[in-house]
A and B are shown apart, each in its own frame.
Chain A
Amino acid sequence: MVTFSNGYLVDNLADALKIRSEIDVTPYAGGTDLMVDAKEDAVYLFLNKIPELRRIYSDEQYLHIGAACTYTEIFENSLSPQILKDAIDYLAAPAIRNMGTAGGNICNASPKADTALIFYVADAKLRICNTSGERILPIEDFYVGRGKTVLQKDELLVEILVPKQGLEHYYYKKVGARQALAISRVAFAGIFTTENGIITRCAMAFGSVADTVLRFRDLEALFVGKSIAEAKSLRSQFIANYEQAIVPIRGRVSAEYRKSVCMNLLEDFLTQNGI
């Protein structure tokens, strides 16, 4: 461990968690969000040299992505699912993809976080540790609001667990003012799976719309267990449910604009899946 003025550099997770338990520090992975709004009195815990946070590996069920893996590392890893690569391909620009991390994207807790959207729709879980152990949370339970998470002062996000199966059939669209370096105005990710003609999954997540990424599992359930033809007959009801559920907030663009883009993307997603 190296102690600097205004920062600690550690090379293993145990030391990092020990510091988290004893000192009030801001975890620093890639810095691309923190440094935009850099505080002069910030005390950082540098996580970029901790091997446990830089690994990508898979077990039977999950792809484990270390929280301090950069977007470039995730993009270039052959284990990463294509839906995640698509989101990274439209995220910022090369220099930011080289430094910014998936864990930072999640913990910064912006509803515009491009990769958090993918983790939502993919049913990803977060492995969070402190010195006494770990807890594993579905990503939607991690957020309390804009910029607010349930991460405690003594905890660190260590890994993102992405299910290995069922992400092949996806839809992803990011709507921004331009291609590079655009903060999304609306981002949409959907996953659609059928087995023997029966819908087993119709997951949708909306980014940049409200205080957190939005996903409505109860509304998705309407299509599960139905055939495409049955879903088609329920299409207008399904859309009406979302029309009611999505309540966008006004940001750089109007709430009305956000709402209509969300609904257009949702309808396009259904149409592309034959519904």
Chain B
Amino acid sequence: MNGQIHFTLNGEKVTSDRHANERLLDVLREDFKLTGVKCGCKEGECGACSVLLNGVLANSCMVAMGSIEGSEVVTIEGYSKTKRFQALSDAYAQTSAVQCGFCIPGMVLACEALLAKNPNPTDAEIRKGISGNLCRCTGYNAIVEAVKIAAREGKGLW
């Protein structure tokens, strides 16, 4: 009677036996060992657990497993195999946009979600796009700069 939950994770079909009311965040980290998905607050305040859910940015701490049946989930581990990731990664490196790194998996996915919708964002649009992702090290300026560089140098990718 108690059905498994089926979904696509980083391009592969997977199933989970977890309860439908459990957090996607915990399942990704504990069962699938995808520890690039960070747990910061479990309240949707910090964005460290961000994933792409059916192509849009979501806080995996606020997603109950039952709601993702049939959905596509992409974590930083899956995204890091793409050309888009490489463009963002190079840009982050150029501006030294990573310090402690804890926010970065979520931050990079927020940047991807932004660029996918808006390939040439203004400063204000970038800040809005990453407004749900807290970074306590960089002061954000280097990240904003990196997104602009990625948009420019990765032209055609988004």
Does A associate with B in a complex? yes
Residue B47 interfacial (CB < 8 Å)? yes
Distance between B76 CB and nearest chain A CB, rounded to angstroms: 14
Known: A92-B132, A94-B132, A180-B131. A28 touches B47 (CB 8 A): no
Residue B2 interfacial (CB < 8 Å)? yes
A7 contacts B132, CB within 8 Å?
Answer: no
A-side interface residues, number (CB < 8 Å): 34
Contact with B along A214-256 (1 / 0, CB 8 A): 0000000000000000000000000000000000000000000
CA distance A39 to B66 in the complex (A): 15
CA distance A32 to B50 in the complex (A): 13
Q: In this complex, what residue of A is CB-closest to B43?
A: A36
The answer, among B5, B43, B44, for a CB contact under 8 Å with A4, is B5
Known: A3-B3, A40-B21, A95-B59. 5 other contacts (CB 8 A): A3-B1, A8-B66, A31-B63, A36-B43, A93-B131
Q: How many A-B residue pairs have CB under 8 A?
A: 117
B21 contacts A95, CB within 8 Å?
Answer: no
CA distance A3 to B42 in the complex (A): 26
Residue B57 interfacial (CB < 8 Å)? yes
Contact with B along A87-129 (1 / 0, CB 8 A): 0000011111011000000000000000000000000000000
A180 contacts B64, CB within 8 Å?
Answer: no
B-side interface residues, number (CB < 8 Å): 37
Distance between B29 CB and nearest chain A CB, rounded to angstroms: 16
B3 contacts A2, CB within 8 Å?
Answer: yes
Distance between B37 CB and nearest chain A CB, rounded to angstroms: 13
Taking CB atoms and an 8 Å cut-off, the chain B residues in 16-48 that contact chain A are 19-23, 42-45, 47
A5 contacts B64, CB within 8 Å?
Answer: no
B19 contacts A95, CB within 8 Å?
Answer: no
Distance between B131 CB and nearest chain A CB, rounded to angstroms: 3
Q: Identify the B interface with A (CB < 8 A).
A: 1-3, 5, 19-23, 42-45, 47, 50, 53, 56-59, 61-67, 69-70, 110, 113-114, 128-129, 131-133
B66 contacts A46, CB within 8 Å?
Answer: yes
B110 contacts A7, CB within 8 Å?
Answer: no
A181 contacts B45, CB within 8 Å?
Answer: yes
B58 contacts A95, CB within 8 Å?
Answer: yes
CA distance A93 to B128 in the complex (A): 8
Distance between B98 CB and nearest chain A CB, rounded to angstroms: 20
CA distance A95 to B53 in the complex (A): 10
A4 contacts B110, CB within 8 Å?
Answer: no
CA distance A184 to B43 in the complex (A): 16
Residue A6 interfacial (CB < 8 Å)? yes
B21 contacts A42, CB within 8 Å?
Answer: yes
CA distance A7 to B5 in the complex (A): 11
B53 proximity list for chain A (CB < 8 A): 98-99
Q: Identify the A interface with B (CB < 8 A).
A: 2-9, 28, 31-32, 34-36, 38-40, 42-44, 46, 48-49, 72, 92-96, 98-99, 179-181
Most buried by B among A38, A94, A96: A94
B56 proximity list for chain A (CB < 8 A): 72, 98
The answer, among B2, B23, B132, for a CB contact under 8 Å with A181, is B132
B128 proximity list for chain A (CB < 8 A): 94, 180
The answer, among B19, B62, B69, B110, for a CB contact under 8 Å with A99, is B62
B63 contacts A180, CB within 8 Å?
Answer: no
B59 contacts A96, CB within 8 Å?
Answer: yes
Most buried by A among B47, B50, B110: B47
Known: A6-B21, A94-B132, A96-B44. A36 touches B2 (CB 8 A): no
Distance between B60 CB and nearest chain A CB, rounded to angstroms: 9
CA distance A6 to B1 in the complex (A): 11
Distance between A44 CB and nearest chain B CB, rounded to angstroms: 6
A4 contacts B3, CB within 8 Å?
Answer: yes
